[in-house]
Amino acid sequence: YRDMVLVRRIDTEATSLQRQGELGLWPPLLGQEAAQIGSARALRPSDFVFSSYRENAVAWCRGVGFADLMRVWRGNAAGGWDPYAVNMAPTQVIIGAQALHAAGYAMGIAQDGADDAAISYFGDGATSQGDVNEAMVFAASFQAPVIFFCQNNQWAISEPVGLQAAIPLANRAPGFGIPSIRVDGNDVLAVLAATREALDRARSGGGPTFIEAVTYRMGPHTTADDPTRYRDAAEVDHWRLRDPITRLG
């Protein structure tokens, strides 16, 4: 609960800093705190994280400080933190590329004979990208200890998930030979349990897992976006009643 409240406060402050001209851009995670924190708190320090640009709550759980979370968004640094100090790669802006990085790293873990795991975070839109699908091919073929963690926040910028997926996203993974689970992404304890199960599978030689955490992006895609142009206010109100912090409280 403390994690979620702190991260939301950081997110609010970063948005304000962008509006003041202190940051060039900021990708808010408002509403997705449970999906990120529930999964990140299941990891151990030796696991390695490959994220997109929105997983600031995951970075926080890995030990990245407030100033380091802001650094790259000021536009004067190539990355915000030392990836080897926290076992988390720099933020990835190319959609879905981090899934390939995670699969390759996980194959290396297996070659080393270690029982660590890699985890890749991406959004629903990234599942339409070739990189994510290619990563699942390799992970399944080599039984790599990797978790593909999809935060289905309902919108890929202005495109609704229903336009790009006729079935639940979790149903795609079994076609690659990867077990999957669809979990309530606004229930931090459910996400924690699902991630622990996937980690147990990875550590015991069971290979990859695909997790679809069904959540909602309550804010804009980034501070350059105006979500009122493409989604109804009633939809936001509907999801606000499922706020992960309120639920856990």
Annotated catalytic sites, by residue? 217, 221, 230
* pLDDT at position 5 over 90: yes
pLDDT, tens digit (0-9, with 9 covering 90-100), for 8-34: 999 999 999 999 999 999 999 999 999
Distance CA 151, CA 91 (A): 16
Average pLDDT of the chain, as a whole number: 97
Distance CA 193, CA 176 (A): 23
* pLDDT at position 212 over 90: yes
* pLDDT at position 182 over 90: yes
Q: How confident is the model at residue 77 (pLDDT cuts 50, 70, 90)?
A: confident
Angle at 199 between CA 126 and CA 239, to 5 degrees: 50
Question: Residue 188 corresponds to which tokens in the numbers above?
Answer: 């931090």
* pLDDT at position 78 over 90: no
Distance CA 124, CA 96 (A): 10
